[in-house]
Structure 1
């Protein structure tokens, strides 16, 4: 039997397979296979769209609620309801915007189609990813709590019968804490599953709308994509630990140790689209560094001996000149809110407290480059040797050198040897992260100075080579580094895995810092402006 006898619309090219698409430029109906072949003809322009958006149909008008013998062929934009011609002529909608119901139907279905694609292709997969991560964490919880229970058993074996009661008590504590931990994850799983079920239901409802010509059903559609786009917050729970003290029979209960309480930290997800929230004009010809004093005040340094404290409105609050009268090489803000700067001209690191400058470090045979303040209010300084042959990172407690980081386990230099500014930052996990632009790498070592990894850019770097400049870290242990050559910023996790780019129309992002609320500040040397960018969700 001829398929056309069953009203099956066939592809205009192969005339065998049902049509699925329409090329709007060529006005030709296509099946899936022929659509691909049609697009391969580069001699013409093509615009392929799903056929169902263009097919002719017989409208199914709804009856007017006030005039039962009339069809609602128009739509009142002011009242948001379908209306009939009698409704219009009655004057009740005088002055209202009236549109053709079929045009309204078409625009509504286009919006539904767009929402459907977003739900299926973007939103739902993100929920799936979160759900998978929670399930993985639950499996890790089972393993780690098992390890804690084993530790408790080992302690019990050492102390034998005298401590059996205490061991059992500790295991009970572990089981209770584990229950609380799993309860938190189960609650999150339930919330995610419930939301995923809702999305699936909405998807089915939208597909039903798209497959029907019921105008009433279509006109009452309301998008929930904005609601579903607000992903539920994830939680990060720090596993408790079980201390192992020295055995003391007199104070056995106290010395046995205890299970730490469950620590719950909310993880801030990355925004789908980072957004610019402020731009600060620094007044320099060339801007080189920025360091946050607060969420609305930043210290800056540029092509002069003057360092400026500015607010978000570009108002100058304070300015301080270097002790030597030379340009500062880098700046940082201490935990106490004081300013530190390096002076390459006289090999010093200087602290500004109450507007008075004191030299805290004077180097011999080395010249300071960049500086950052650590969690325990120490200073980390990158430096190069006077002959330019060596580079290293040095930790200082006050004026005392407490650590030097220069070579890996095989005795090879960790950093390139040059006078390029090697910006650095200490991560929340106490890793030391250095942006080594000459080496085209971000070099990360742990607290003891052992190499953890090198990040040399993402495979999508196809324009200019990766040459990191500024670097900073946030409360989530993300590592952010400026990719000036490609006009963007890379976000990595604490293990060096690439997460995403930040663009935000960045010209030449150079130096970076984040404030206590994880707002990113980006210094552009060409425009001499600092841009404030929100890249993490505030919904926790």
Structure 2
């Protein structure tokens, strides 16, 4: 689907066509006086025509914006098209001849409009490419700081509890020592009192014996040898009462501790005297080095500094043993590549093409059917049994997801959240289903007008912004929806019949599409605007069917008619 010739949007989703009647060629140039997009041939004819040979013809990206039509209030048949520099008011050509503007200078309003529109677009680009990412970076920094503060405060709380436990242990030890000392003092005093008690017990016994002795003298009737008839002075010499001392108990002197003294013992938390640093905001000038206003410099809004090279370099080429034709490729861990062919063979190779392992599946033919998960497992679509299988590193194949009545065709493991995206068909209809931990959580089938989005979702991938990009070989288009399933755009090639197959994205948000019919690989912006034909038959591309980009931004292209994989460098 091409755009209407009457109006070409600023951000194309498919491709720009020439505005000359019955010409459907790709638009490259623009006539500013006519406000008409043109192909190269029509531009040449336009310049040859006597009526238009003096028109200003520029590359499309340098075009002037079409000035909105507004009628002059004083001259309703005239359009406002100039600006009085002295009065700063828009005028029509007739107004400029009025006495009030005598001697004044004028500027073409369309020129001003174009320059200010470009400035607005540049400012929008600055906001999107610098201010929003910078603010988000600072916001992320705040979240990191919040986590750090939580960790620090937890550490302080733990230290305080440890300090309190340590002090409590010391208090318990001192208290135990004091109690033991008191116990010893008590035992000593008890021994002293027991000794005194024995002293008086013995003395009382002595006195009782003496009383009994005197009673014996009184009761005796015989005077012979009876002491009572003799002087008793010797007998009345009673031993004095023993002297004893009263015990002196110990005195406990209680500690005189205040809360402040305890706080001093335990330590306290104080506000740091370190002056807080202002969060660093990268200067606009510094950021602008990587934010030049050209479409071919990639997705600066995502903070990636790579940009497109002026040329594509072939890095290496190798054949994949064990496969008949390269139908699908996916980058694995440990610098390996996984390849499937139309006979349901899955082969793992190193980056020199040496076979590491080969697995024969029952998944049927002609399916873009494998992907490598974040954990390093390979999962593939088995369209015969209508299941998604998992191959673990020990080569064990287990059933992972059942797709019911729907036949799985394409599959992709998200590098953003680990979700599994599966393109499926049933009775001539297609859909894309999202799975999380093996459970179905989203189905995408129709656009907001109720139209079917897919017929045969042959290859599928995910962009860095969460967009789901699906190559549909029946609709002959790459259908792109956002992560909520809302249709964003459909790319149908550059004018000729398109046969899209493999599709992948890179770190800049570019979309790379194989066209098996034209022997090309197209490069698109994340919003669908065509950037360039990245690879052609002249560069060794023959029936490209599958693509993937590794962590070093090397592009791997698998060929349908051979078992050849070619590696290119297109970012610098």
| TM-score under structure 2 length normalisation | 0.49
The question of whether the paired residues in 1 share the 8 Å contact of 2:304 and 2:507 is answered with no
Number of the residue aligned with 2:470: 434
Number of the residue aligned with 1:312: 351
Q: Rg bigger for which structure?
A: 2
> How many residues are treated as equivalent by the alignment?
308
Number of the residue aligned with 2:418: 377
Task: Tell me whether 1:455 sits opposite 2:455 in the alignment.
Answer: no
- Equivalent position SS for 2:418: coil
Number of the residue aligned with 1:477: 509
Number of the residue aligned with 1:299: 338
**RMSD, aligned α-carbons:** 3.6
The question of whether the paired residues in 2 share the 8 Å contact of 1:301 and 1:328 is answered with no
What does 1:195-214 align with in structure 2 at a 5 Å threshold? none
What does 1:317-328 align with in structure 2 at a 5 Å threshold? 317-322=356-361, 324=362, 326=364
Instruction: Give distance in 1, aligned partners of 2:291 and 2:437.
Output: 49
Task: Tell me whether 1:349 sits opposite 2:385 in the alignment.
Answer: no
Instruction: Give distance in 1, aligned partners of 2:395 and 2:281.
Output: 51
Residues 189 and 513 of structure 1: CA distance in aligned 2, closer, same or farther (over 3 Å): closer
What does 1:45-444 align with in structure 2 at a 5 Å threshold? 137-138=125-126, 180-181=281-282, 183=283, 185-187=284-286, 236=300, 265-283=303-321, 284-294=323-333, 296-322=335-361, 324=362, 326=364, 329=367, 330-353=369-392, 354-374=394-414, 375-385=416-426, 388-416=427-455, 420=456, 422-444=458-480
Deviation for aligned residue 1:360: 0.9
Number of the residue aligned with 1:522: 557
**Cα deviation code 1:74-125 (max 9, x no counterpart):** xxxxxxxxxxxxxxxxxxxxxxxxxxxxxxxxxxxxxxxxxxxxxxxxxxxx
Deviation for aligned residue 1:484: 1.3
Residues 507 and 466 of structure 1: CA distance in aligned 2, closer, same or farther (over 3 Å): same
- Equivalent position SS for 1:510: strand
Instruction: Give distance in 1, aligned partners of 2:445 and 2:365.
Output: 27
Residues 341 and 139 of structure 1: CA distance in aligned 2, closer, same or farther (over 3 Å): closer
Deviation for aligned residue 1:136: 5.8
What does 1:476-495 align with in structure 2 at a 5 Å threshold? 476-495=508-527
Residues 349 and 143 of structure 1: CA distance in aligned 2, closer, same or farther (over 3 Å): closer
The question of whether the paired residues in 2 share the 8 Å contact of 1:290 and 1:298 is answered with yes
Instruction: Give distance in 2, aligned partners of 1:191 and 1:401.
Output: 41
**Cα deviation code 1:437-466 (max 9, x no counterpart):** 2212111111110111111223xx4xx411
Deviation for aligned residue 1:286: 2.1
**Cα deviation code 1:461-516 (max 9, x no counterpart):** 4xx41121110011111111101111111111111111111223201111111112
Deviation for aligned residue 1:312: 2.5
| TM-score under structure 1 length normalisation | 0.52
Deviation for aligned residue 1:282: 1.4
Residues 132 and 521 of structure 1: CA distance in aligned 2, closer, same or farther (over 3 Å): farther
Instruction: Give distance in 1, aligned partners of 2:428 and 2:529.
Output: 31
- Runs of 5+ unmatched residues, structure 1: 1-35, 41-130, 149-175, 194-231, 239-264
- Equivalent position SS for 1:435: strand
Instruction: Give distance in 2, aligned partners of 1:285 and 1:327.
Output: 12
The question of whether the paired residues in 2 share the 8 Å contact of 1:288 and 1:510 is answered with yes
Residues 498 and 325 of structure 1: CA distance in aligned 2, closer, same or farther (over 3 Å): closer
The question of whether the paired residues in 2 share the 8 Å contact of 1:508 and 1:524 is answered with yes
**Cα deviation code 1:37-90 (max 9, x no counterpart):** xxx9xxxxxxxxxxxxxxxxxxxxxxxxxxxxxxxxxxxxxxxxxxxxxxxxxx
Residues 287 and 144 of structure 1: CA distance in aligned 2, closer, same or farther (over 3 Å): closer
Instruction: Give distance in 2, aligned partners of 1:366 and 1:521.
Output: 30
* Worse-matched range after superposition: 276-285 or 294-303: 294-303
- Equivalent position SS for 1:383: strand
Instruction: Give distance in 1, aligned partners of 2:363 and 2:461.
Output: 27
Instruction: Give distance in 2, aligned partners of 1:347 and 1:481.
Output: 27
The question of whether the paired residues in 1 share the 8 Å contact of 2:329 and 2:370 is answered with yes
2:569 to 529, 534, 537: 534
- Equivalent position SS for 1:517: coil
Instruction: Give distance in 2, aligned partners of 1:393 and 1:321.
Output: 26
Residues 189 and 339 of structure 1: CA distance in aligned 2, closer, same or farther (over 3 Å): closer
Instruction: Give distance in 2, aligned partners of 1:397 and 1:139.
Output: 34
The question of whether the paired residues in 2 share the 8 Å contact of 1:512 and 1:521 is answered with yes
- Runs of 5+ unmatched residues, structure 2: 1-43, 49-118, 137-277
Instruction: Give distance in 2, aligned partners of 1:432 and 1:467.
Output: 19
Deviation for aligned residue 1:535: 1.0
Deviation for aligned residue 1:186: 1.4
Instruction: Give distance in 2, aligned partners of 1:485 and 1:288.
Output: 15
